[in-house]
Chains A and B, each alone.
Chain A
């Protein structure tokens, strides 16, 4: 260690896509070169962008970003693990917040959907069972913040992360609240 003042502790950020399309993650990456600033200030825990298999296994996470609603049993298990291991949990995108377009299946019978797509209901125990309805995540765990949009604009991600890194309550600028 040299004599210069220690840089502040890096925040630990986990991200996940449940019943999502990965579009919210792509919009996060759309902050472009600001990603270089970001990785100087955060470490990524479990995320589709890292190889870590279990969220917060060694260290609690400061921030969890959750894309996608809940469509199957594994989604619920992963979401509960995120809630248990992340101090601040953020619902990201229309799917996490409302169920999103995947929830259009809620007026159909899930068995009928399986029958018409696969001709049978796939029954290998490796496969997570689908829920009969797609749910927004706030119906299963408490969320601290939400980032609307399908997907949220890159600037909305950047503002949220900057607010959280500075210890402020995120309040999105008016133009950054979009639902489409």
Chain B
């Protein structure tokens, strides 16, 4: 170990580095929050959501896949990055059907809490109202594709943690969607088990274990604060 641990600067705070760190993993270990949706320390990076975009020595990069470099100056809390995060979140909201008042992930949803923290009050863009059919064929897991943000956390969890490769991303452009590896393309005919990590890693209300919805009282959900009316 060298006498002085290498660090980089995040919005004026020194962050200690370890070999193999990305900007996001180092910041997360130091307890500093860089907003993100598609990153999890459990699986490899995918850099699909772009919410973690920071300025590294002035250049915009995805903090979840960009190696941390000693001495680098990284900015996250700038006004223009805050506006960019807000617009990214609004794009994700209008791209799906995010009717939180009827979604059983509400209060436990990472997309929702990021939008709240970004100060999102309205959608800004036109809504797209996709019409992808719900897949309720699995006895224990529901898939509501109109809430899927294509973060690929389920894809990576199934590949890397469950060793099953149940999910993949297919299609192009706005028609890109989550594919399920089974003869029928339906979840019920796949190898997915409700005990798999992939069945629980979805940050939003797209892949949901069945029969546990609305079990947690308002006020006690994952992201509820003392301000949450209950």
Q: Show the binding face of A for B, using Cβ within 8 Å.
A: 91, 94, 97-101, 103-104, 106-107, 133, 135-136, 138-139, 143, 145-148, 150, 153, 171-180
Q: Per a CB cutoff under 8 Å, which of A101, A136, A147 touches B123?
A: A136
| Cβ A97 vs Cβ B102 within 8 A | no
Are A180 and B129 CB-contacts (below 8 A) given A136-B123, A145-B121, A172-B119?
no
| Cβ A104 vs Cβ B99 within 8 A | yes
Q: Per a CB cutoff under 8 Å, which of A91, A107, A136 touches B127?
A: A136
Q: Per a CB cutoff under 8 Å, which of A143, A145, A180 touches B107?
A: A180
Cα of A42 to Cα of B107 in the assembled complex, Å: 35
Are A178 and B131 CB-contacts (below 8 A) given A98-B98, A139-B126?
no
Q: Is B227 an interface residue (CB 8 A)?
A: yes
Q: How far is the CB of B119 from chain A (nearest CB, A)?
A: 7
A-B contacts, 29 listed (Cβ < 8 Å): A91-B122, A94-B99, A98-B93, A98-B127, A99-B127, A100-B99, A100-B101, A101-B102, A103-B99, A104-B97, A104-B102, A136-B127, A138-B122, A138-B124, A146-B122, A150-B100, A150-B101, A171-B119, A172-B119, A172-B121, A173-B227, A174-B116, A175-B227, A177-B121, A179-B101, A179-B106, A179-B115, A179-B116, A180-B101
Are A180 and B100 CB-contacts (below 8 A) given A107-B131, A175-B227, A175-B228?
yes
Cα of A133 to Cα of B131 in the assembled complex, Å: 12
| Cβ B119 vs Cβ A153 within 8 A | no
| Cβ B101 vs Cβ A138 within 8 A | no
| Cβ B129 vs Cβ A106 within 8 A | yes
Cα of A87 to Cα of B78 in the assembled complex, Å: 32
Cα of A86 to Cα of B152 in the assembled complex, Å: 45
Residues of A within 8 Å of B101, CB to CB, are 94, 100-101, 150, 179-180
Residues of B within 8 Å of A106, CB to CB, are 129, 131
Cα of A110 to Cα of B87 in the assembled complex, Å: 32
Beyond A107-B131, A150-B101, 19 additional pairs, beta carbon < 8 A? A94-B99, A94-B100, A98-B99, A99-B129, A101-B99, A101-B102, A103-B99, A104-B102, A135-B127, A136-B123, A145-B121, A150-B100, A153-B229, A177-B120, A177-B121, A178-B228, A178-B229, A179-B112, A180-B100
Which has the most chain A C-beta neighbours within 10 Å: B116, B126, B131? Answer: B116
Residues of A within 8 Å of B98, CB to CB, are 98, 179
B 216-230 to A, binary, CB cutoff 8 A, 1 in contact else 0: 000000000111110
Looking across the interface, which residue of chain A has its beta carbon closest to that of B121?
A146
Q: Which A-B residue pairs are the 8 nearest by beta carbons?
A: A175-B227, A150-B101, A146-B122, A179-B100, A180-B106, A146-B121, A107-B131, A180-B100
| Cβ B123 vs Cβ A97 within 8 A | yes
Cα of A69 to Cα of B126 in the assembled complex, Å: 13
Residues of A within 8 Å of B129, CB to CB, are 99, 103, 106-107, 133
Q: Per a CB cutoff under 8 Å, which of B93, B116, B123 touches A177?
A: B116
Q: How far is the CB of B194 from chain A (nearest CB, A)?
A: 25
Q: Is B59 an interface residue (CB 8 A)?
A: no
Looking across the interface, which residue of chain A has its beta carbon closest to that of B119?
A177
Residues of A within 8 Å of B211, CB to CB, are none
